[in-house]
């Protein structure tokens, strides 16, 4: 059997120039077809270069609210300086030759888009092959390959207007289920009762921004929430830290959960046997939790999306994502300036939250603005953060479903245990705005709800833990543990998990 020549072995990309020409002719002879087809196509869906240029001209005409016909199209191509490139008026005329009606335009559009997708898949496959030969890490190769396929998939998603009856029926069913108590509530609760009352729980697909100036405690607050969600409610949480390493984050959580100050944990011989017992109990609870941490400093939104998608590919799914923090993330592609980078990152996170169906908490920096402002009579007053203070972005404010600011009021000494920090809710699409007073415990980088929630509070006032009502994130009271004389040194044998009995936490 004779061998095929090299020319015969070359496989052609999928395309049909005749269908492309026929579809363009259908658009030319029927304005209704133009309204239906032009918004649902891209110039890159056409294979032949002349057809790409002609469709670009059609898009420009429609954007200018002009009819698409032979005269307007040739004039637009002439203005673009592309009429000769497409073969002149003769080629435009040939497009309508033999086109009797546009009744089959929808089927022809689907054929053009099908060939376009197949060509993109072939090109993506070739690119993935190159990635495989390039010597990058397996993780990078998988992320790059997945991203290329995702771009193709996103290009297929085209929505249309629908009469609201269908959606209204779904809304009515949801309200009925809520009233009857039969709805499956997938909202995630933070463990801060006042915050949960305002949010009604963090909703799947929503983005929650926690912003603050440096050193106010946004990472600590996010870790408090993560600990409450994962340890108290048994949910699966993914934390992406672009600044702190995972060991440091775990030490913070251990301190928060055990109530042992960082100073005691980091000073040789300073921890008592009783404190060791509490620390081991916290370790045991943390080791059995569904809390995951990624401290890769160069994560992009696409990488975070792919990692979360893989984590969610089982029966347990994923309940909450925390990103610390937005301005440190790497962009997907080159852009002009920092504002555009942050806008791109913010938009990607919003899209991925909806696609994953998981609430995402994003931490953000604030602009360096004065902490006081001139009030009545020239008296300096405390300046609370505003949405305009979100660093390098109006897009964060636009994309977020809720924006919260952590704010240290004027005169507060945040080095004091129990000092006041305000949680200011300035944007809330699904609930009320307002301020929640928090008590800050710097010795273990932890927050609790302040017992005084009134509008007026002495700035220097601190609150002792014994004055607090028990909340999910408060450390366990001493009486819940065994007494010190009951603790043996072997209780700290974490490596062998040689714990003396089942220690409640």
- pLDDT for 256 beyond 50: yes
Q: What's the confidence (pLDDT) of residue 184?
A: 66
- At residue 226, the pLDDT reads 92
Provide CB contacts within 8 A for 259, sequence distance 6+. Answer: 278, 444, 475, 476
Among 61, 63, 99, 97, residue whose Cα is nearest residue 78: 61
Delimit the domains of the chain by residue range: 17-155, 193-369+382-491
What is the structure's pLDDT at 352?
83
Burial bucket for residue 49 (CB in 10 Å: 0-12, 13-18, 19+): exposed
**3-class secondary structure, 207:** strand
Q: Domain 17-155 carries which CATH code?
A: 1.10.860.10
Contacts of 95 (CB under 8 A, 6+ apart): 21, 24, 25, 28, 54
Residue the block writes with tokens 């251990």 = 254
Instruction: Give the range with max mean pLDDT: 224-228, 286-290, 483-487, 495-499.
Output: 224-228
Q: What are phi and psi of 114, to 5 degrees?
A: -60, -50
Q: Is pLDDT larger for residue 99 or for residue 144? A: 99
Residue among 81, 367, 396 nearest 214 (CA)? 367
Greatest mean pLDDT among 9-13, 31-35, 477-481, 493-497: 31-35
Percent of the chain with pLDDT over 90: 4
Flag whether the pTM goes above 0.75.
no
> Which residue do the tokens 């289920």 mark?
177
At residue 368, the pLDDT reads 66
> Which is higher by pLDDT, 138 or 385?
385
- Cβ neighbourhood burial of 381 (10 Å; 0-12, 13-18, 19+): exposed
- At 225 the pLDDT is 92
Give dist(CA 21, CA 422) in Å, integer: 64
State the pLDDT confidence band at 157, using cuts at 50, 70 and 90.
Answer: low
> In CATH terms, are 17-155 and 193-369+382-491 the same topology?
no
* Residue with the larger pLDDT of the pair 270 and 135: 270
DSSP 485: G
Note the pLDDT of residue 145. Answer: 72
Q: Residue 131: which pLDDT band, with cuts at 50, 70 and 90?
A: confident
Per-residue confidence band for 503, with pLDDT thresholds at 50, 70 and 90: very low
Is the model more confident about 136 or about 90?
A: 90
pLDDT at position 329 is 72
Query: Which pLDDT band holds residue 222 (cuts at 50, 70, 90)?
Result: very high
- Count helices and strands (H / E) in the chain: 17, 11
| Confidence bin at 277 (pLDDT 50/70/90) | confident
Q: Which residues of 397-409 are buried (b: 16+ CB within 10 A; e: fewer)?
A: bebbbbbbbbbbb
Between these two residues, 200 and 398, which has the higher pLDDT value? 200
pLDDT at 394: 61
SS3 188: strand
Q: Which of 6-10, 145-149, 462-466 has the lowest mean pLDDT?
A: 6-10
From residue 253, alpha-carbon distances to 99, 234, 249, 475, 503 in Å are 70, 15, 6, 11, 18
Indicate whether 472 pLDDT > 50.
Answer: no
User: Which has more pLDDT, 376 or 244?
Assistant: 244
For residue 476, the 8-state DSSP code is P
Beta strands in 163-290 (DSSP E): 207-212, 237-241
Residues 132 and 138: their CA atoms lie apart, in Å, by 9
- Helices 70-80 and 49-63 sit at what angle, rounded to 10 degrees? 100
Contact status, residue 61 vs residue 67, Cβ threshold 8 Å: yes
**Higher-scoring residue by pLDDT: 152, 495:** 152
- Does residue 255 register a pLDDT over 50? yes
pLDDT, residue 476, reads 42
Mean pLDDT of 458-478: 51
Cα–Cα separations (whole angstroms), residue 474 to 225, 287, 452: 11, 19, 16
Least confident of 145-149, 287-291, 426-430, 441-445: 145-149
258 in Cβ contact with 480 (< 8 Å): no
H/E element, 446: strand 446-449
Place of tokens 């990309």: 13
d(CA 383, CA 372): 5
What's the confidence (pLDDT) of residue 398?
76
Task: Please say if the pLDDT value at position 315 is more than 80.
Answer: no
Whether residue 194 has pLDDT greater than 80: yes
What's the mean pLDDT in 106-113? 87
Kindly state the average pLDDT of the residues 74-96: 89
Which pLDDT value is given to residue 95?
87
Close Cβ partners of 5 (under 8 Å, ≥ 6 residues apart): none
pLDDT at site 224: 92
pLDDT at 483: 40
pLDDT at 138: 65
Q: In the predicted model, is pLDDT for residue 141 greater than 80?
A: no
Phi-psi region of 232 (alpha: psi -120 to 50; beta: other; left: phi over 0): alpha
CATH class for domain 193-369+382-491? alpha beta
Rounded average pLDDT over 436-456: 82
Query: Is 70 exceeded by the pLDDT of residue 297?
Result: yes
Average pLDDT, the chain: 76
pLDDT of 492 reads: 47
Sheet holding 237-241, edge to edge: 291-294, 237-241, 320-324, 360-365, 207-212, 402-407, 419-428, 434-441, 446-449
């Amino acid at each position: 059997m004779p061998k095929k020549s090299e020319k015969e072995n070359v496989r052609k990309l999928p395309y049909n120039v005749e269908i492309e020409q026929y579809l363009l002719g259908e658009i030319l002879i029927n304005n209704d077809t133009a309204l239906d087809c032009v918004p649902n196509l891209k110039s890159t869906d056409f294979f032949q270069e002349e057809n790409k240029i002609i469709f670009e001209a059609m898009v420009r005409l429609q954007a200018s609210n002009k009819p698409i016909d032979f005269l307007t199209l040739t004039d637009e191509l002439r203005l673009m300086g592309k009429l000769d490139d497409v073969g002149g008026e003769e080629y435009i005329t040939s497009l309508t030759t033999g086109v009797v009606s546009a009744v089959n335009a929808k089927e022809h559009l689907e054929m053009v888009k099908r060939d376009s997708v197949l060509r993109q898949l072939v090109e993506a496959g070739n690119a993935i092959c190159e990635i495989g030969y390039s010597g990058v890490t397996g993780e990078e190769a998988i992320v790059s390959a997945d991203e290329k396929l995702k771009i193709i998939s996103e290009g297929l998603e085209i929505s249309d207007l629908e009469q609201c009856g269908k959606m209204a029926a779904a809304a009515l069913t949801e309200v009925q289920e809520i009233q009857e108590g039969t709805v499956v509530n997938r909202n995630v609760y933070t463990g801060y009762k006042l915050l949960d009352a305002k949010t009604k729980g963090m909703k799947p697909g929503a983005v929650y921004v926690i912003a603050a100036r440096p050193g106010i405690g946004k990472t600590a607050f996010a870790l408090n929430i993560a600990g409450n969600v994962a340890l108290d409610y048994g949910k699966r949480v993914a934390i992406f830290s672009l600044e702190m390493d995972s060991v440091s984050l775990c030490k913070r959580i251990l301190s928060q959960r055990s109530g042992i100050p960082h100073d005691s944990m980091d000073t040789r011989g300073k921890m008592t046997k009783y404190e060791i017992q509490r620390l081991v109990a916290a370790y045991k609870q943390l080791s059995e939790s569904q809390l995951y941490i990624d401290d890769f400093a160069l994560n992009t939104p696409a990488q975070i999306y792919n990692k979360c998608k893989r984590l969610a590919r089982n029966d347990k799914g994923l309940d909450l994502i925390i990103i610390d923090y937005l301005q440190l993330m790497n962009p997907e592609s080159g852009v002009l300036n920092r504002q555009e980078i942050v806008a791109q990152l913010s938009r990607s996170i919003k899209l991925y939250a909806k696609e994953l169906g998981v609430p995402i908490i994003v931490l953000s920096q604030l602009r360096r603005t004065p902490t006081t402002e001139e009030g009545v009579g020239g008296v300096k007053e405390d300046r609370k953060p505003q949405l305009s203070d979100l660093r390098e972005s109006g897009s964060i404010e636009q994309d977020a479903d809720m924006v919260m600011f952590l704010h240290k009021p004027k005169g507060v000494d945040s080095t004091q245990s129990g000092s006041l920090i305000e949680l200011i809710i300035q944007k809330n699409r699904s609930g009320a705005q307002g301020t929640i007073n928090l008590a800050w415990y710097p010795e273990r980088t932890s927050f609790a709800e302040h017992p005084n929630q009134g509008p007026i509070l002495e700035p220097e006032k601190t609150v002792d833990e014994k004055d607090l009502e028990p909340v999910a994130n408060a450390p366990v009271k001493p009486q819940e543990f065994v007494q010190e004389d009951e603790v043996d040194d072997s209780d700290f044998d974490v490596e062998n998990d040689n714990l003396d009995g089942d220690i409640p936490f």
